[in-house]
Structure 1
Amino acid sequence: MQRVVLIMFVAMSLVPAGDSAGKLLSSQLGVAPAFIAWSRFLIGTLFVLPFLPKGCIALFANWRIWFRAVLLSFGITSIQIALQTEMIATVFAAFFIGPLISFVLAAIFLREPVTPLRSILIAFGFLGVLVVVRPGMGASTGLLWAVAAGCSYGAFLTTSRWLNTLGSPIAVVFSQLAISALLLAPFGLTQLPPFTGTIAALTITSAFCSMLGNLLLLYACQLVPATRVAPLVYFQLVAAVGLGWAVFGDLPDSWTWIGLSIIITSGLASTRLR
């Protein structure tokens, strides 16, 4: 389980790093969120292409792969819309309805084991999210988009476990990236930004960090059940707060640190349960 904790820590740090690059593009350089989401999938597809195993094209005939890609493309687009106007730490805190959704869906549809103590720890972690978010969670359109992204991501996490027998992680990642790029192409191609070195570098960084983070997430889901991976996704919030401070100057207050302590404590405690 210690290896899964390390994998998830790296993965959940890469994802907000990619979103921080996306926020720089949309909030400071005027790039459309739809283009950021589409380019992330397109560039990620090109990154993965040289490493494809044989037979991965067969995955495209499975409707579950398409369903998962729809969840992913909607979630990524929604969070890019939210990041355009909201602080990154607040967006990710609202987004963290996702692990709770994943926990419930995995228990209901995948019949994964759920103990009372694990349920309490998940609820305790979600309490930490509420401490970070605090007042006015539903007061802005941006945060509503973040909540929508979180719900989509929760379902995405559950399907990561649902599809882990269909192919290797790299093959599944390629299929989700390629299909999502196809779905979002009409929106991205109609909102192309001006080509500059800064926009190109941030676009590539956003795509690479997101692709690698999601690939590591799939590896983690192959090692343990989704109900055990779900609490570790809270590491993403820690990285989001750190990046928000380092990149955008959003220094966390004392309540945020309290919330983060609750989240980390509940997540790590949950990994120790049998």
Structure 2
Amino acid sequence: MWRLALLLCFGMSLIPAGDTAGKLLQAEGVAAPFVAWARFVVGALAVLPFLPRAEFACLRDPRLWFRGALIGAGIFSILTALSRAPLADAFAGLFVGPIVSVVLSALLLKERVSALRWLLVLAGFAGVLMVVRPTGNAEPFLAFAVLAGLFYGGFLTASRWLAGAFTPKTLLASQMLAAMVLLTPLGLWFWPEMSPKIIALLLVSGLCSMGGNLTLILAYRQASAAQVAPFVYVQLLAATALGYLVFQDVPAPLTWAGMAVIALAGIISTQLPPPSAHPGARGADRR
């Protein structure tokens, strides 16, 4: 389990790195819809050539397109929030996602989640609230961050649902392709003037996001949504660090206390036995 924990910590740090590049792109005058679309274009171009030909038929499955639509809407929403909100503030709204994921997994996937694990996930969210106190001038844009969190929670649950039905490459390729196709009209409408700096940031944004999501896919093949959920909070720690290093956002003392709560909840969670599935649960058909 400790190897999975290290993998998740690294992968979850990649996602806010991609969003940092996205925020820098918007500072260069690139619109959020184009940044979201270009992120999936880069991801699709990076992963589709490595998808076995036999697995291309799976891309017709509507479940994969539904999952891709969830992550596409989530990325569009968080990038819209980042156009005005600080990095860590925006990620606070995004982090209703793990809570939504555990709730949906219990209701829809029939995973039995222990009371202690519920408390640990809630403790992690309490740590998030300690880390980020939304600023008044960014409140309208933080609504998009909360919306991103709802989409993200649905995406996490869908990833768990389909983890045993498709290979990691198929899951990753499908989410990149579906989101790219669905966001293409917006991406083309907001096409910016290109420069070497913008192209470099687009590559960083797309590749980091792809790497982080591949980590999640691999994790869901080895663990339940409730086990993975606390590690998703590493994104907030990374977002806080990147906010300080790149945008000079200085963390307050309460921020460090929140980080400790999040880390402690995640470490304890790794020591618990995995939750069992409900006897009547029916997962996705395995391929």
| C-alpha contact 1:68 1:176 (8 A) present in aligned 2 | yes
C-alpha displacement of 1:125: 1.0
Distance in 1 (CA, whole Å) between partners of 2:157 and 2:269 is 17
Would you identify which runs of 4 or more consecutive aligned residues in structure 1 move more than 4 Å? 135-139
| C-alpha contact 2:59 2:170 (8 A) present in aligned 1 | no
Distance in 2 (CA, whole Å) between partners of 1:50 and 1:63 is 22
Alignment gaps of 5+ in structure 1: none
Q: Deviations over 1:67-93 (max 9, x none)?
A: 111101100000000011011011112
Sequence identity, in percent?
A: 47
Q: Does 1:203 align with 2:209?
A: no
| C-alpha contact 1:94 1:129 (8 A) present in aligned 2 | no
| C-alpha contact 1:7 1:217 (8 A) present in aligned 2 | no
Q: Does 1:116 align with 2:115?
A: yes
| C-alpha contact 1:59 1:166 (8 A) present in aligned 2 | no
C-alpha displacement of 1:13: 0.4
* Partner residue in 1 for 2:282: none
C-alpha displacement of 1:136: 5.7
Per the alignment, in what secondary structure is the counterpart of residue 113 of structure 2? Answer: coil
> Which amino acid in the other structure matches residue 125 of structure 1?
G
Report matched runs for 1:34-113 at 5 Å: 34-113=33-112
Alignment gaps of 5+ in structure 2: 274-287
C-alpha displacement of 1:139: 6.8
C-alpha displacement of 1:3: 1.5
CA RMSD, aligned part only? 1.4
C-alpha displacement of 1:138: 10
C-alpha displacement of 1:56: 1.9
| C-alpha contact 2:87 2:239 (8 A) present in aligned 1 | yes
Distance in 2 (CA, whole Å) between partners of 1:148 and 1:114 is 25
TM-score normalized by structure 1? 0.96
| C-alpha contact 1:234 1:263 (8 A) present in aligned 2 | yes
Count of aligned pairs: 273
> Which amino acid in the other structure matches residue 9 of structure 2?
F
* Partner residue in 1 for 2:187: 188
| C-alpha contact 1:8 1:232 (8 A) present in aligned 2 | yes
| C-alpha contact 1:79 1:145 (8 A) present in aligned 2 | yes
Per the alignment, in what secondary structure is the counterpart of residue 233 of structure 2? Answer: helix
Report matched runs for 1:133-144 at 5 Å: 133-134=132-133, 140-144=139-143
* Partner residue in 2 for 1:5: 5
Distance in 1 (CA, whole Å) between partners of 2:7 and 2:71 is 21
* Partner residue in 1 for 2:276: none
| C-alpha contact 1:66 1:179 (8 A) present in aligned 2 | yes
Q: Deviations over 1:199-230 (max 9, x none)?
A: 00000110000011101110011011111101
> Which amino acid in the other structure matches residue 133 of structure 1?
V
Per the alignment, in what secondary structure is the counterpart of residue 140 of structure 1? Answer: helix
